[in-house]
């Protein structure tokens, strides 16, 4: 009987502790970690918002080699979703909800297995003196008795966030350094005499988050109209006349070079850029890293004591539909200067 009474006391104490944890453990959890990266926000931003890059530095993928990731929507834009399924990390998805370019991202994190839950995720960026401070945060709420998990999960999540941010730091800083380093690219800048060029173009001021959609939507129309008019269209381009970070919009044109003297017809206008001094870089690689070329050219012009003159041109020399290896994609980035 004495043994039974002792056992009953032990069970009672355990139940009391369990009930106490259920009622006194917090029903919400906030995790927030910060890192300083020696790279401009333009580079760090792309490494965060593009899930293709996010999956390289995020520790979730490193935890589970069996996990399979699927990106849907326009990667790097609002609404894009990164879904996964693995034996260790379970099944879930992460979706972009809002973006303030180079400043902040809000996301919705949904777990399907091993248990269903929804959480809010955010990134805050601030740049100063060529360095970018990144804060990665997580907020969620738990019902009782699941709230007991918050007592054990917070420390583990903080370690995961720290490791992930350090991976992001290594990636972004390597991209700044250029060739010969992990993830580095060749962004050698040269000067050129840009010849006067005529373009068939569709120009409009649009949100920065819609650049890719705008370009894809209008390029085919321009090609069809120019071909119908027998204008022999050249290499497709993006021409950026303004880049307003405050309003998060750009005055841009989806454009194709056409012979001098071409006339506008239905579907496009004619834009002529005069001959000028320019700096350029032949960038080879995926579009997700093209910010490296822009940063390198801007620094080149500044170091020479010159001034950048709009617009900026991206010439998409390689057709991704024909060349599947993104490391071989050539984009010529051109800045005018005086």
User: pLDDT digit string (tens) for 37-59?
Assistant: 998 887 888 889 889 889 989 88
- The DSSP symbol for 274 reads P
- The answer to whether residue 85 scores a pLDDT higher than 70 is yes
More confident site: 241 or 221: 241
- How far apart (Å, rounded) are the C-alpha atoms in residues 133 and 254? 33
Amino acid 54: pLDDT: 92
- Please give the mean pLDDT across all residues of the chain: 81
**Phi (first) and psi of residue 102, to 5 degrees:** 70, 5
Closest CA to 222 of 259, 250, 264: 264
Walk me through the domains of the chain, giving residue ranges and CATH numbers.
Answer: 26-61+69-177 (3.30.530.20), 189-337 (3.20.80.10)
- How far apart (Å, rounded) are the C-alpha atoms in residues 293 and 176? 10
Amino acid 50: pLDDT: 86
Please compute, for residue 18, the number of CA atoms within 13 A of its CA located in the half-sphere on the CB side.
8
* Confidence category of residue 21, pLDDT binned at 50, 70, 90: very low
- The answer to whether residue 258 scores a pLDDT higher than 70 is yes
**Phi (first) and psi of residue 154, to 5 degrees:** -60, -50
User: pLDDT digit string (tens) for 152-207?
Assistant: 567 778 888 999 999 999 888 877 654 433 444 556 788 999 989 988 899 999 98
Q: What is the DSSP string of 28-52?
A: EEEEEEEEEESS-HHHHHHHHH-HH
Amino acid 240: pLDDT: 95
User: pLDDT digit string (tens) for 96-130?
Assistant: 999 888 889 999 999 888 777 888 999 999 988 87
Q: What is the pTM of this model?
A: 0.55
Chain centroid, CA 43 distance in Å: 9
Amino acid 166: pLDDT: 93
Q: Is 149 helix (H, G, I), strand (E, B) or coil?
A: helix
Amino acid 171: pLDDT: 85
User: pLDDT digit string (tens) for 237-248?
Assistant: 999 999 887 788
């Amino acid at each position: 009987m004495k043994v039974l009474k002792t056992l009953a006391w032990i069970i009672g104490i355990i139940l009391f502790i369990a009930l106490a944890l259920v009622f006194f453990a917090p029903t919400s959890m906030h995790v927030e970690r910060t890192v300083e990266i020696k790279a401009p926000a333009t580079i760090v931003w792309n490494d965060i918002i593009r899930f293709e890059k996010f999956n390289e530095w995020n520790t979730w993928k490193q935890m589970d080699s069996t996990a399979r990731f699927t990106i849907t929507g326009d990667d790097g834009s609002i609404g894009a979703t990164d879904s996964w399924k693995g034996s260790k990390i379970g099944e879930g998805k992460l979706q972009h909800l809002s973006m303030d370019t180079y400043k902040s991202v809000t996301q919705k994190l949904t777990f399907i297995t091993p248990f269903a839950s929804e959480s809010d995720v955010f990134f805050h960026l601030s740049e100063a003196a060529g360095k970018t401070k990144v804060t990665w945060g997580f907020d969620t709420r738990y019902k009782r008795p699941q709230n007991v998990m918050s007592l054990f999960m917070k420390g583990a999540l903080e370690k995961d966030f720290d490791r992930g941010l350090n991976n992001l730091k290594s990636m972004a800083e390597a991209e700044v350094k250029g060739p010969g380093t992990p993830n580095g690219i060749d962004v050698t800048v040269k000067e050129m005499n840009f010849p006067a060029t005529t373009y068939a173009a569709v120009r409009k001021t649009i949100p920065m988050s819609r650049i890719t959609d705008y370009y894809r939507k209008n390029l085919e129309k321009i090609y069809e109209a120019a071909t119908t008019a027998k204008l022999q269209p050249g290499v497709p381009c993006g021409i950026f006349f303004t880049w307003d970070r405050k309003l998060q919009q750009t005055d841009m044109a989806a454009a194709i070079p056409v012979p001098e003297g071409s006339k506008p017809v239905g579907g496009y206008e004619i834009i002529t850029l005069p001959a000028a001094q320019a700096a350029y870089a032949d960038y080879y690689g995926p579009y997700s890293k093209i910010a490296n070329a822009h940063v390198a050219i801007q620094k080149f012009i500044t170091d020479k004591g010159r001034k950048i003159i709009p617009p900026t041109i991206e010439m998409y020399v390689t057709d991704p539909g024909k060349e599947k290896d993104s490391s071989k994609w050539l984009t010529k980035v051109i800045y005018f200067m005086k």
